[in-house]
């Protein structure tokens, strides 16, 4: 996992509010994590669309950005 994914993951730990049965505990918000990854992908593609020739190169670009190996 690269540093960017780790940074997104850190943003998804939420502390439960006082009205919750588990007040004060933290939990990982998987939906927020997924939304942040999709948002990041959209930003990457919007900012680099002129470099893209095909869907294959877009896929490679995203994999490289997130440090994902095929």
State the DSSP string of 15-65. EPPTTSTTTT-EEE-HHHHHHHHHHHHHHHHHHHGGG--SHHHHHHHHHHH
pLDDT digits 0-9 by tens, 9-60: 999 999 888 777 777 789 999 999 999 998 988 888 777 666 656 666 778 8
| 50 three-class SS | helix
Number of domains in the chain: 1
| pLDDT score at 20 | 72
pTM, two decimals, is 0.71
Domain holding 55, by residue range, is 3-66
Could you give the angle at the alpha carbon of 42 between the alpha carbons of 36 and 43, nearest 5°?
90
- Tell which wins on pLDDT, 61 or 35: 35
């Amino acid at each position: 996992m690269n540093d960017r994914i780790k940074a997104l993951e850190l943003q998804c730990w939420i502390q439960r509010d006082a009205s919750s049965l588990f007040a004060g505990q933290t939990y990982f918000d998987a939906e927020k994590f997924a939304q942040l990854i999709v948002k990041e992908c959209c930003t990457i593609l919007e900012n680099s669309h002129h470099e893209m020739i095909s869907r294959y190169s877009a896929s490679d670009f995203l994999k490289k950005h997130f440090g994902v190996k095929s």
